[in-house]
Amino acid sequence: MIEDQIQIKMQHNYFNRLESLIGKDKLDILSNKSILIIGIGGVGSYVLESLARSNIGTIIIVDPDTIDETNINRQILALNSTIGKNKVDVAEERINDINPNCNIIKYNKYFNKETKDEILNNRIDFIIDSCDTIDSKKLIIREALEKNISFISCMGTANKLDSTKLEIVDIRKTINDPIARIIRKYVKDNNITKKIMVLSSKEVPISNGNILASNSFVPPVAGLLIGNYVINELIK
pLDDT in tens, 121-134: 999 999 999 999 99
163-188 average pLDDT score:
98
98-103 average pLDDT score:
96
How high does pLDDT run on average in the chain? 94
Fold designation for 2-235: Rossmann fold (3.40.50)
8 Å CB contact between 132 and 155: no
Answer whether residue 11 shows pLDDT above 90: no
- Rg over alpha carbons for the chain, rounded to the nearest Å, is 18
Under the banding of pLDDT at 50, 70 and 90, the label for residue 6 is very low
8 Å CB contact between 42 and 74: yes
What confidence tens digit (pLDDT) does each residue in 46-78 have?
999 999 999 999 999 999 999 999 999 999 999
Cα dihedral sign, 42-48-106-33: negative
8 Å CB contact between 140 and 38: yes
d(CA 211, CA 194): 34
Map out the domains of the chain as residue ranges.
Answer: 2-235
Q: Is 23 left (phi over 0), alpha (psi -120 to 50) or beta?
A: left
Cα angle vertex 94, ends 93, 97, to 5°?
90
What confidence tens digit (pLDDT) does each residue in 208-229 have?
778 889 999 999 999 999 999 9
Closest to 41 measured CA to CA, from 150, 130, 109, 162:
130
**Side-chain half-sphere exposure of 134, counting CA atoms within 13 A:** 11
- Where would I find the beta strands (DSSP E) of 91-231? 103-107, 126-129, 150-154, 166-170, 197-201
Between 6 and 180, the higher pLDDT residue:
180
Under the banding of pLDDT at 50, 70 and 90, the label for residue 12 is low
In single-letter form, the type of residue at position 50 comes to: S
Under the banding of pLDDT at 50, 70 and 90, the label for residue 27 is very high
